[in-house]
Amino acid sequence: MAPATCSCSNAEKVVLLVGCTQHGKSSLIRSILDYSGAKDKGDRVKVGTFGNTSTTKQAKTFSETIHIQQHSLYDNRSRIHKIIPPQEEPDDLFDLIPKTTGSGKHIHLRVIDTPGLDDTDNNKEPRSRPGPTNTSLVRHVDEQHKLKVFQKLAEEGSLNAICFVLDINSQIGSTAQTLLKEYMHIFDACKLHAPYYFIHTKVNIETMFEEKARQRPASLQGAFSLLHRKVKHHYIDNLPSDECEIEKHFHRRAIAGLLEDLLSEPKHAVMQLRYPRSAGHKSWDRELDRIFQQSKSQLDNEVSLLETAKEHLESTKLPLERRKDQEYSNYRSLDRQYDALNTDDLVEVGKMYKSERSHLFGTSRLWFTVSARAPIRKFEASESGASFWADLPSQSSVYGENSMSAFLKGYGWDCAISATITLYGWQKEAEGVALKRLENERKGAYADWEKTVERVKSLTSSIETKEKEIVDARQAVARINAERRSWQSEHIDMTSMKRYAPYFGTTSIVAYAYGLRISRRFPQKALGEGARARLLKEYDSKISAFEQQVTVCKEMVKLTNESHAKSKSFLEDIRSQHDRFSKDIKGNHNTATSITSSNPSISIPTKGINSKDSFIMQDMQEKLESRIAIGKTLVVSSIKLYGRALQEQSLVTKSIIPKAEKLADSCKVKVTMWEEEQLNRESAHAAAEVVKVISNLDSVPIGVAAVFQATSESNDASWEPLFENLKSTYSCKPEGWAEFLHYLKIES
């Protein structure tokens, strides 16, 4: 009866079942289903018998409404016997009488069975790959199983309890402790405070009284530090003997005790969804971080070189700045000198003084011819008082000339005379030579200053360029640090988990880096023409072979599916026949019982019948009853004979069912095998094609760079590690391959 159709107020109890492979999870579920009366469901729960391969490959859910019984042991005086383990002798229990009564309680239970940890399928991947592709770093199957548990937590949103199934005979050593702690880390990271139920399996009557059973809770407390969590322990013999009623009693009693405890558990919500990184993930993180650190070191070195270059430029610029200032000062000094001379100010450009003594019988005379060192712009003539200028040119007549003439004459005899003529020219013309020299010097000084200014400008521009390059490089370093921080934490972020969860349970560091969405690309050394030609030839050959293998696998999948469908149909027919025989046997038995228990009687009327007729009728009655009895015996005998025939047919079909189930399982295994092989060949084909393209890329994502680095460090020039990484990436999520190619910057 489902909770929705039940009139009770009991909410459904959701329990997550986790544990290591071969510790009895599946057989525990089978026991619970058997206890609930759903034996047909229980019979179909696959139970492993040996090895470490988990029988549960996917998380499965089982829902049942279970009526909880009360199971007691009675002594020979009909008194309930209370078991006190330290004082009890196991052999004494076999003298007790088990009884089952109703408790009036029932539970709506939903059990989520998860794949077992420590699966030997972890070892099916080769371990010979170098560096970050070594599968010993990541137990890929265990990681996939944990991811399924995490996805179930996300789907459910809340749980009533988390049940850890542990074989009582197993040692709580480093392996089991590490594996279960990884589960506990998931629950702690999700802030799921549901109680921990430790279900100790394979606890038979003898084992339950042993010291190891009594000390088990303390051992677990020490191993897992469980003080912060509500913890309960249950001991269950999940595979009791069908021949021993006492063993079956303790088995049912343990199941009832577990169910009764679960009935009282409230729901606990998943407060947040965070997936803790495993040791393998952290190892890969270190590999990826090493690539980042190398890139960061290159940028740091670039920053250092740029700063050194900038310092050199600045040290070169400083004396040039001083030189520029000095050259400008020299130029300004020459410019001022030039400007001081290059004027229209009048300066003396020629001068002549003459005198003549007196003559007793004649007039004194003086002739002047004065030369100028520059064009005459003005002249001045001064004479003594006893003379006059007999011939003196006008100012305009000598303007611009280089000389002038004049004639001075005395007024009479016996007069001494004298005169001075001063010529004036523009200073700029008078100092023409000096101006020319200054102009040349000034031009030279200005040219020198201009050259120095240009060198300073060039250096300034170079310094600014270096400063920008330094800023850019530092920003690149900051971006690298930010990118590193974005994926370096104890947990994988929920955004990545929602879209890329399959890539975190893989043997491929390429897939792992893709799942983290690390977008930074790193340069790749170009292949030589010869090496690339050899690579293309090798992988073209592989691609052709893989194509043929994929075709074969598809055909085999088709054939095995057809065989599986036939085997399933045959199994269903046999089960249907067996069910029909069982129903007919039950009906036949009921008919026989009904006839046997029937007692037909023949009543004879007595009223109005004389004694003679009455005697005759009584005789007829006795004969008829005798014949009826004989007929009844014959009918019952025939029915029983038919029933035995039905039972024989039922036994035949019952004996065939396990063989038919085995055949169907075998066919399903073959289907799975060929489907896995098809996926393997398809992933190899896809990976080979991508290897060819990657070989020609200038830059690659960080995961590919990590594989290349590991390959180079192992002195292995092969491309096989990358090929294997790409195969694993494809296998994670074939339908996501096109998106992955876009991430690689390859067109699909």
Same domain? 591 vs 617: yes
| Same domain (yes/no): 531, 514 | no
- Do 62 and 128 reside in the same domain of the chain? yes
Quick one: pLDDT at residue 58?
Answer: 66
Helix pair angle (702-713, 279-341), 10° resolution: 100
- Residues 390 and 372 placed together within one structural domain of the fold: yes
pLDDT at position 51, please? 38
Could you tell me the CA-to-CA distances from 174 to 3, 189, 315 in Å, in that order? 41, 22, 63
pLDDT of 132 > 50? The answer is no
In a domain? residue 511:
yes
DSSP string, 53-69: --S--S-EEEEEEEEEE
Report pLDDT for 13: 92
Determine the average pLDDT of the residues in 611-632.
73
Predicted local distance difference test score (pLDDT) of residue 129: 42
Q: Which of the residue ranges 20-34, 69-83, 346-360 has the most confident prediction, judged by mean pLDDT?
A: 346-360
- Residue 628 included in any domain: yes
Who wins on pLDDT, 494 or 325?
325
Higher-confidence residue of 428 and 604: namely 428
Looking at per-residue pLDDT, the higher value among 586 and 122 belongs to 586
Look at the chain and report how many structural domains it folds into.
Answer: 4
Instruction: Examine residue 276 and state whether it is found in any structural domain, yes or no.
Output: no
In-domain check, residue 277: no
- 522/703 Cα distance (integer angstroms): 10
Same domain flag for 110 and 134: yes
Residue 247 resides in a domain: yes
- Higher confidence at residue 262 or residue 74? 262
**Domain's final residue, options 443, 463, 488:** 488
Q: Let me know whether 538 and 511 are in one domain.
A: no
H or E element, residue 87: none
| 118 pLDDT more than 80 | no
CATH of the domain at 123: 3.40.50.300
**Lookup: tokens for 442:** 């000034």
Which of 5-14, 429-438, 493-502, 613-622 comes out lowest in average pLDDT?
Answer: 613-622
Is the Cα dihedral 469, 470, 476, 482 positive or negative? negative
- Report the pLDDT averaged over residues 35-47: 65
- What is the value of pTM for the model shown? 0.68
Nearest residue to 562 (alpha-carbon basis) of 672, 667, 675:
667
| CATH code for the domain of 551 | 1.10.287
Last residue of a domain, one of 488, 513, 537: 488
Percent of the chain with pLDDT over 70: 88
pLDDT at site 316: 95
In this prediction, residue 8 carries a pLDDT of: 73
With contact defined as beta carbons under 8 Å apart, do 509 and 287 qualify? yes
For residues 420 and 504, state if they share a domain: no
Q: What is the pLDDT of residue 238?
A: 77
- Co-location of 256 and 311 in the same domain: no
549 in the same domain as 504:
no
330, exposed or middle or buried, with CB in 10 Å at 0-12, 13-18, 19+? middle
Q: Which domain holds residue 448?
A: 285-488
Q: Secondary structure of 600-658 in the HEC alphabet? A: CCCCCCCCCCCHHHHHHHHHHHHHHHHHHHHHHHHHHHHHHHHHHHHHHHHHHHHHHHH
| Tokens 């104890």, residue located | 490
- Using CA atoms in the order 310, 313, 314, 317, what is the torsion angle rounded to 10 degrees? -160
552 and 434 together in one domain: no
Q: What is the pLDDT of residue 122?
A: 45
CB 628 within 8 A of CB 595: no
Residue 417 lies in a domain: yes
* Phi, psi angle pair for 53, to nearest 5°: -90, 125
Q: Are 146 and 181 in contact (CB under 8 A)?
A: no
Instruction: Determine which of 89-98, 239-248, 306-315, 729-738 has the lowest per-residue pLDDT on average.
Output: 89-98
pLDDT tens, residue by residue, 628-654 = 777 777 877 887 888 788 788 888 888
Among 238, 271, 304, which residue terminates a domain?
271
pLDDT confidence of residue 420: 96
Q: Is the pLDDT confidence value at 6 over 90?
A: no
Query: Whole-angstrom Cα distance, residue 351 to residue 371?
Result: 8
SS3 percent helix, strand, coil of the chain, rounded to 5, is: 60, 15, 25
Residues 642 and 534 in one domain: yes
Q: What does pLDDT average to over the chain?
A: 84
Q: Predicted confidence band at 126 (pLDDT cuts at 50, 70, 90)?
A: very low
Q: Residue 137's pLDDT is what?
A: 46
Is 60 exceeded by the pLDDT of residue 336? yes
Asked whether residue 612 is domain-assigned, the answer is yes
Residue 493: per-residue pLDDT: 79
Residue 748 maps to a domain: no
Residue 53 banded pLDDT, cuts 50, 70, 90: very low
What's the average model confidence in pLDDT over 77-92? 67
Query: What phi and psi values does residue 127 have, to the nearest 5 degrees?
Result: -110, 15
pLDDT digits (tens, 9 = 90+) for 181-221: 888 888 888 888 899 999 988 888 777 777 778 888 888 88
- Strand partners of residue 106: 67
| Same domain, yes or no: 337 and 446 | yes
Q: Is the pLDDT of residue 37 over 90?
A: no
What's the pLDDT tens digit per position in 479-538? 999 888 888 888 887 778 878 888 988 889 999 999 998 888 999 887 788 888 888 999
In this model, does residue 167 exceed pLDDT 50? yes
